[in-house]
Structure 1
Amino acid sequence: MFPTLTPKHPEEVMVIRELEGQDIITCSVPFSRFGLLRIGGRGTIIRMASGSSAVFSPVALTEHVKGIITALNSPIKFIIAPDLEHHIFLGDWKAAFPDAKVIGPEGLQEKREKNVKTKDTSKVDFVFTPKNRHNPDTFPEFNAEFETQYLPSHPNREIVVFHKPTKTLLQADLFFNLPATQQYEKERGGATQGILTKLFLPVWSTEGDAIWQKRFTWYLLAGRNRDEWKESLRRIDRWDFERVIPCHGDVIDTGGKLVFRKLFEWFLNGG
């Protein structure tokens, strides 16, 4: 459907990882912006204490993934589209799990309704808005395990999610952790192929002082409303997370809070 962005044969290149000792499964795939910039893509399935599961930023629903969900005996109860960009495969998941509730930002339903390929699966059951951006009551089963923070002034309207039992932060475009080695593990050329990819690696890296990503966020992403960003990021900083699962780039299994504080220190310290 989207040949310049997503792999034509996701079953062949998807890397599925079950996090040790946790009810978390990551589905990592190649994903190239403009067909050239290798940033990777990732969907995450979390099995909740209730026995149901939630999927964050769903990627291709392959037969292998369907088999895993069946083996878990944990049907998908919630589908979280974390911003206006991470919804390409939402319709496939909704069709497979019609009772699942869709959670997304304002504007997502309207965007999907304008596209003939997605308008029939466009309903968003809970919509994040500026008025309810601070951990609203979505659904009791969801709120029992997750906390949320919405950044309406993010260019993509970002919803950040915290899974309390596993101390895991899930985010789509809040920050990147390139290179996307996990997501290009099965793809020819690897995670750093191409001039455009090499050009942007320093911008979206968390290594060292990460100064380029800090500047990119401060001046470009948050330039229109830094006060709102400061408020949201300080609320996120109060969450007790250790792991960070980004949609773009490698999972940070330990030390995720330290990386977060490094990237957003200008917001957290009053900048």
Structure 2
Amino acid sequence: MAPNVAKLIPSDPEKVMVIRSITPDIKTFSTPFLRFGRVKIGGRGTAVRLGSGTTAVFSPVALTPTVRAEMASLGPTKYLVALDQEHHIFLEDWHKAFPDAKVIAPETLPAYRDKQGYFRIPEGNWKLFEAGASAQGKLSVDEEFDREFDFTYVDGHANKEVVFNHRKSGTLIEGDLLFNLPATEQFSRSGLDPKSGLLSRLFSWLNSTQGEALAQRRLIWYGICENKPAYNREVNRISGWKFDRIIPCHGDVIETGGKGIFDKVMKWHLEAARKGQ
């Protein structure tokens, strides 16, 4: 783990983590997380047990003793997923605990980790998503994984997002594509108010899904999206999936009505995609 990470995460994640069963096959691991060491956006890992009995872990959080026990109860960990090039800080611990697991990530992540001084995961473990592969219909992990999930690579996003839909439960799992702040659950055991402090209040307002969600819609359209045609295409693809729940990495889980919220936040991109833009 890079030395500058300590100011972003809890000193003792075991004491403040909220572990919850979303369905019999899905568990979430929610913790405090500070963007830039100051902004309370929360962090969340999600584990999904596949029909085969193996498990995929999306955006792994700290591998505490309790997390290890919960993972053992789900089944063998076969897949570790970095949902974008920022959601990787605990990959070293998880890779060492599960050295045979495939590490699914955007193509940019290995070089990004090298630049930041992280542990180098062996080349043979990586399953990297490449720009343009989704548009060409060439994204695949393996047969076991592919039959459980819809997935795509939103390379037009600044953080290079990989996004998944667990078909069986209709659950969208994503990193920084959509926030649902404030991070109430993630700070619920910390004694901290997720909206305390000017920057956290501002970030919560900018990344809310309430009402028309115009602030978040504008933030994505004008700030987060780096390549609009590519972004529009993949967001439109996601909108076509069947899901009701959204598990974001930052903010509360959207238990129901997630498809409508997703389409609301991404409205301008969906309209542009349907115009061929």
Once the two structures are TM-superposed, the CA of residue 116 in structure 1 deviates from its matched residue by 3.8
On the 8 A contact 1:109/1:123 being kept in 2, the answer is: no
TM-score by length of 2: 0.93
On the 8 A contact 1:91/1:121 being kept in 2, the answer is: no
**Residue aligning to 2:21:** 18
Residue in structure 1 matching 2:48, options 46, 50, 63: 46
TM-score by length of 1: 0.95
Superposition RMSD on alpha carbons, in Å? 1.5
1:143 corresponds to 2:146: yes
Once the two structures are TM-superposed, the CA of residue 169 in structure 1 deviates from its matched residue by 0.3
Return 188-197 or 231-240, whichever deviates more. Answer: 188-197
Structure 2 residue ranges without an equivalent (≥5):
none
The number of equivalent residue pairs is: 268
Percent identity over the alignment?
44
1:121/1:85 CA distance change after superposition, 3 Å: farther
Structure 1 residue ranges without an equivalent (≥5):
none
Residue in structure 2 matching 1:168, options 166, 171, 182: 171
**Residue aligning to 1:229:** 231
**Residue aligning to 2:72:** 70
Counterparts of residues 1-271 of structure 1 (less than 5 Å): 2-20=5-23, 22-72=24-74, 74-120=75-121, 125-134=126-135, 136-222=139-225, 224-270=226-272
Q: How far apart in 2 are the matches of 1:233 and 1:111?
A: 24
State the Cα deviation string for residues 123-171 of structure 1 (Å, max 9, x = none). 6521111131356121111101011111112111000111111100001
On the 8 A contact 1:112/1:118 being kept in 2, the answer is: yes
Tell me the amino acid that sits aligned with residue 259 of structure 1: I
Q: Which runs of 4+ in 1 moved over 3 A?
A: 114-117, 120-124
Q: How far apart in 1 are the matches of 2:70 and 2:122?
A: 24
State the Cα deviation string for residues 158-196 of structure 1 (Å, max 9, x = none). 001111111000010001100000100001222112111
Q: How far apart in 2 are the matches of 1:99 and 1:120?
A: 11
SS of equivalent residue, structure 2 residue 185: coil
Q: How far apart in 1 are the matches of 2:212 and 2:183?
A: 19
On the 8 A contact 1:109/1:124 being kept in 2, the answer is: no
1:261/1:117 CA distance change after superposition, 3 Å: closer
Once the two structures are TM-superposed, the CA of residue 113 in structure 1 deviates from its matched residue by 2.6
